[in-house]
Amino acid sequence: MPVFDCEQDFLTNLVAISPKNARREFRHYIFDSWDWECAYCGEQLTIDTATLDHILPKFKGGHSIKSNLCCCCSQCNREKGSHALSTWYNHSNSRYCEERFGKLMVWIEQSSYSIKFSAANHELIPAG
């Protein structure tokens, strides 16, 4: 099964899998990448308790791409809300962990290559 760099990449695979299954694959890829642990507090999560958090909130211009989404428990997701990572996840936060912060930084800095479908030309084009 292909890995999607963003939620929109599933459009390129509609022949192979349904949009619902593509979204599920995208979410599960991120959960698996974080070993089903909250990126902020380390809580072990399940299919019923795991959520995705936009590291840079959509409200502040963040996109639904792999490098901007992390596995998160619902409590941390609610507490972070639309705060920027640096203002919420720091030494004053009781859940803060230097090791998890380092993993977040590596995750954010990963290069993501994405393909978009050009409706005008009916061609696949690299995002960027």
**What was the pLDDT predicted at 7?**
56
Quote the CA–CA distance of 6 and 69 in Å, as a whole number. 10
**What was the pLDDT predicted at 16?**
65
**What was the pLDDT predicted at 18?**
74
Please say whether the beta carbons of 55 and 85 come within 8 A. yes
Rounded mean pLDDT for each run of 10 residues along the chain, 128 residues in total: 54 64 88 97 97 92 90 97 92 95 91 43 37
**What was the pLDDT predicted at 128?**
43
- Cα–Cα distances in angstroms (integers) from residue 37 to residues 34, 43, 50, 77, 125, in the given order: 6, 5, 8, 13, 34
DSSP string, 29-83: HHHHHTTTB-TTT--B--TTTEEEEESS-GGGT--SBGGGEEEEEHHHHHHHTT-
Quote the CA–CA distance of 33 and 30 in Å, as a whole number. 5
Please say whether the beta carbons of 80 and 88 come within 8 A. yes
**What was the pLDDT predicted at 22?**
79
